[in-house]
Amino acid sequence: MSELAAVSVTALKGVGAALAEKLAKVGLETLQDVLFHLPLRYQDRTRIVPIGALRPGQDAVVEGVVAGADIVMGRRRSLLVRLQDGSGTLSLRFYHFSQAQKEGLKRGTHVRCYGEVRPGSSGLEIYHPEYRATSGTEPIAVEQTLTPIYPTTEGLTQQRLRQLSEQALARLGPHSLPDWLPPALADEYRLQPLDQAIRYLHRPPPDADLEELAEGRHWAQHRLAFEELLTHQLSLQRLRESLRAQQAPELPAATRLPAQFLDHLGFQPTGAQRRVGAEIAYDLAQPEPMLRLVQGDVGAGKTVVAAFAALQALEAGYQVALMAPTEILAEQHFINFSKWLAPLGLDVAWLAGKLKGKTRAAALEQIANGVPMVVGTHALFQDEVKFKRLALVIIDEQHRFGVQQRLALRQKGVGGRMCPHQLIMTATPIPRTLAMSAYADLDTSILDELPPGRTPVNTVLVADSRRFEVVDRVRSACNEGRQAYWVCTLIEESEELTCQAAETTFEDLSAALGGLNVGLIHGRMKPAEKAAVMDSFKQGQLQLLVATTVIEVGVDVPNASLMIIENPERLGLAQLHQLRGRVGRGSAASHCVLLYHPPLSQIGRERLGIMRETSDGFIIAEKDLELRGPGEMLGTRQTGLLQFKVADLMRDADLLPAVRDAAQHLLHDWPNHVSPLLERWLRHGQQYGQV
C-alpha cells in the first residue's frame, strides 16, 4: 500500500484536471493533504428530532407530513410549508422556489429535512432547509457519524469535499500514513495513534462531545496540535542549527570605547542594562553567530544596551549595521548614535530607501570603504549594499521584518563567509507563549527595570462627546508649561485618509487653542520636515503636537506629560502601550486620555480597560495575544508565519514545554524523522527559515 503523501488527488474517483486545480488552491495535492484538511465544525444528522423538542438555534433533522403549502406575500414573496409529526408543527420557508418545487411539497407529502431552527412569524421555522420527499413507509437510514463542514474555496462544495475525504479515509492505515512520532515519544506524552486521530476528526461518532470538539480540547485534536507545534519547533531548531554552524568573528570584550562612552553618557546604566550587556558581550566573543532578542518595556533603555554591543565590535575593528522598520525611528537612532560616537572619533553613515542619485552613491561608497557604523531602514538588505567588515547587525522592532530578511544578512558578513552576530531589540514585550514558539531560534534577554525618574502614566477613558473638555485640559496643561501629544489613529487602514484627518484635527485645534503653538507630523511629510517639527517640539517651541502613529516609537521629549489618543479602539494594545510610552519620561505626573467613540464592543471595552489597569507591557502583551491572536501581534501577515492548521497558540500554550522537550528528543534520537514531519506540515509556502 503506497504512502498517501506520494499519491496525487487525481487518483481519487471524479478528480480531473479542473478539480485538481481547484484543490491545489487550498493546498490539496496529495491524499495526505486531503486527510490533513480537517473540518472546521460538525453537524449532527445522526438522529431525527421530534418537532415538539426543537429549540431555536439548533441544527436538526426533522421528519413529518406536509399539512399545507402556501405562497405568502410579505416584504418578499415566499413559499411557506407547514410540517407536522404528531408532536408539533414547524414551518419551512423558501424565498427561491419553482412551481415544480411547490407541486412536490403538496399536502400529505412525507418529508425529511435538515437546517437551522429559528423563531419566525408563524412559530419555529427553517429557512431553505435541505430536504427530500420520502414514501413514509420504509425508513431512510440516518447518518452514522457527525457531518463534517470543511474549509472550502469557490467551486468546491461540502458534498465534494466529503466524497474526497471518504475515499482518502478508505485508504488510511498505519502504513499508508506513517506516524513519525516514535512509540516511545508517543507513550511519554500520552499521544494516541495518528491514523485514529485523523479518522475520528473527519467522521466523529454520534456520541462525540460537540462542545469539546468546538473548543479544540478533544484528544484527537490534541494529538495533531502536538505534532504540528512540534514540527514548527523543529523547523526553528534547524534554522538555529544552520546559523550556529556558521562562523562568526570572535569579538573580545571591549574596555577603551565603553569607558569613554560612559564618561559622555551623563547617567549610570541600570542593573538590568549591565546584566543584559554582559550576556551580549559573552555571546559576541564566541566563534558562532549570536542570535539574541532583547525585550524591554517602553523606555527601559534598549538603545544604550545596543550601543555597548556596537562598541565591542567597533573596538575590534569591525563594522556595525543598525536597522529600524520606519524612517522616523531609523533617523532617531542615527541622531543618537552620531551624538554618542562623534566624541569617540567614529563616523556614522545613513542609508534609507529614498536616498537617490549622488547621495546614495556616496553612502554606498562609505559603507564599502568600511565606515564604522551604518544606520538605516531595510534598504540595508539590498543587493548592491556591500559592507567591508560587517560583524554585528542590530535590528530594532524585529517583528516588522520577515525571518527571510534576517537570514539575507548572512551574505553581508565578512568576506561573504563569516556570518554577522545578530542583536534583535523589541519594545513590544512578547508573551512567553509566543517567545517559546515564534522565537525559538533566539536566546532571550529581558530588561525588566526602568531607569530612575520615570513616573507611571495615569490612563483615563473619555467618550468623544466630551471632546471640548479634553481640549480645555490640553489648554490648561500647556499654559502650565507642559507639552502634549494629540494622536490621530488609522482610518480603516488608509494612510492617505489618516494624514488628512490629522491635518483637519490640526486646523481645528489650532483654532480652538488660539495663542498656543501647535505642530503637525504625519507619514506623508518629507523626513526633513518631520525632523524639523520634532526638533521644535523637543526644544519646547511647540506646546502641542498633532501626529499620526508615526510617533509610536523612539521619540523622547521629557517635558511632554499629556497624550490624547483618538479612536483608541482602532489600535492593538501593544501599539497603544507603545504610544503611551512617549509620555511619563520626565518627573512630572503624566496622563494619557483614550478618547473613544461609543458604543464600544465587548472586546473594545475589555481592551481599553486593560490599558487603564496596568502599565506592565508583558501583561498587556498576554492580553493582546488572547484577544487578537498571534498573527496580528507578530506582524506575521507579512511573514507567513504561524498559520497553524490545527494548533492554536493560546489554547495549546500548556503543550509548549512538552513540545520543546520532544523536539530536542527527536533531533537527538530520531533525526531521520525530522524531514518527513517538516514535509508533511510545512510544505505549502511555509519553508520557514529556508532561504
Contact 563, 578 (CB under 8 A): no
pLDDT tier for residue 646 given thresholds of 50, 70 and 90: confident
Rounded to an integer, the average pLDDT of 323-337 is 84
pLDDT score for 603: 78
Mean pLDDT over the full length of the chain: 83
pLDDT score for 555: 63
d(CA 641, CA 634): 9
Which range, of 135-149, 377-391, 461-475, 561-575, averages the lowest pLDDT?
135-149
Rounded to an integer, the average pLDDT of 185-201 is 92
Rounded to an integer, the average pLDDT of 160-179 is 89
pLDDT tier for residue 484 given thresholds of 50, 70 and 90: very high
Q: For residue 474, is pLDDT > 90?
A: yes
Q: In what order do the strands lie in the sheet with 319-323?
A: 348-351, 373-376, 319-323, 390-396, 421-426, 291-296, 443-447
Give the three-state DSSP class for 596: strand
Q: For residue 553, is pLDDT > 60?
A: no
The angle subtended at Cα 431 by Cα 430 and Cα 436, nearest 5°, is 90
d(CA 501, CA 468): 18
d(CA 108, CA 143): 25
Q: For residue 593, is pLDDT > 90?
A: yes
Q: For residue 42, is pLDDT > 70?
A: yes
- Please name which of 140, 128, 138, 57 lies closest in space to residue 96, comparing C-alpha atoms: 128
DSSP class per residue in 254-291: P-HHHHHHHHHH-SPPPHHHHHHHHHHHHHHTSSS--E
Here the cell at position 668 is 537527538
pLDDT tier for residue 628 given thresholds of 50, 70 and 90: low
Element (H, E) at 55: none
Of the chain, the percentage scoring pLDDT greater than 90 comes to 26
Rounded to an integer, the average pLDDT of 665-676 is 90
pLDDT score for 215: 83
- Please name which of 585, 589, 546 lies closest in space to residue 565, comparing C-alpha atoms: 546
Which range, of 398-402, 438-442, 461-465, 470-474, averages the lowest pLDDT?
398-402
Q: For residue 459, is pLDDT > 50?
A: yes
Give the three-state DSSP class for 134: strand
Q: For residue 608, is pLDDT > 70?
A: yes
Q: How far is CA 627 from the centre of its chain?
A: 11
Kindly report, residue by residue over 271-293, the tens digit of the pLDDT. Answer: 989 999 999 999 999 999 898 98
Residue whose entry in the numeric block shows the C-alpha cell 500554550: 653
pLDDT score for 687: 40
- Cis peptide preceding 599, ω within 30 of 0: yes
Q: For residue 59, is pLDDT > 70?
A: yes
pLDDT tier for residue 630 given thresholds of 50, 70 and 90: low
Q: For residue 448, is pLDDT > 80?
A: no
d(CA 682, CA 227): 12
d(CA 62, CA 54): 9
pLDDT score for 66: 92
Which range, of 28-37, 139-148, 225-234, 348-357, averages the lowest pLDDT?
139-148
d(CA 480, CA 458): 18
Contact 352, 330 (CB under 8 A): yes
pLDDT score for 344: 93
Parallel, antiparallel, or unpaired for β 110-120 and 59-73? Answer: antiparallel
d(CA 408, CA 236): 16
Contact 25, 15 (CB under 8 A): no
d(CA 65, CA 454): 76
Kindly report, residue by residue over 103-143, the tens digit of the pLDDT. Answer: 888 888 999 899 989 988 778 999 888 888 887 676 666 77
pLDDT score for 160: 87
d(CA 232, CA 89): 53
Rounded to an integer, the average pLDDT of 78-94 is 90
Q: For residue 551, is pLDDT > 60?
A: yes
Residue whose entry in the numeric block shows the C-alpha cell 485645534: 509
d(CA 43, CA 46): 9
Q: For residue 665, is pLDDT > 80?
A: yes
Kindly report, residue by residue over 491-510, the tens digit of the pLDDT. Answer: 655 667 777 788 889 999 99
d(CA 651, CA 626): 9
Considering only residues 207 and 621, tell me which one the structure prediction assigns the higher pLDDT: 207
- Residue 334 falls in which region: left (phi positive, over 0), alpha (psi -120 to 50) or beta: alpha
pLDDT score for 573: 80
- Please name which of 502, 114, 531 lies closest in space to residue 331, comparing C-alpha atoms: 531
pLDDT score for 416: 66
pTM over 0.85: no
Rounded to an integer, the average pLDDT of 470-488 is 92
pLDDT score for 689: 36
In degrees to the nearest 10, what's the CA dihedral of 229, 233, 239, 241? -160
Considering only residues 607 and 93, tell me which one the structure prediction assigns the higher pLDDT: 93
pLDDT tier for residue 298 given thresholds of 50, 70 and 90: low
pLDDT score for 191: 92
Decide: residue 279, CB within 10 A, 0-12 exposed, 13-18 middle, 19+ buried: middle
DSSP class per residue in 96-120: S--HHHHHHT-TT-EEEEEEEEEEE
d(CA 689, CA 616): 32
Q: Specify the amino acid at residue 577.
A: H
Here the cell at position 74 is 410579505
CB contact set of 366 (below 8 Å; sequence gap of 6+) = 347, 349
CB contact set of 254 (below 8 Å; sequence gap of 6+) = 281, 311, 312, 314, 315, 316
Of the chain, the percentage scoring pLDDT greater than 70 comes to 88
Identify the bridge partners of residue 141 per DSSP, sorted by sequence position. Answer: none
Kindly report, residue by residue over 392-434, the tens digit of the pLDDT. Answer: 999 887 554 555 565 666 677 776 678 899 898 887 667 666 6
User: Domains in the chain, please, with CATH?
Assistant: 4-43+147-215 (no CATH), 51-134 (2.40.50.140), 256-447 (3.40.50.300), 457-614 (3.40.50.300)
pLDDT score for 401: 55
Give the three-state DSSP class for 459: strand
Most confident of 231-240, 367-376, 631-640: 367-376
Which range, of 66-70, 243-247, 309-313, 638-642, averages the lowest pLDDT?
638-642
Element (H, E) at 179: none
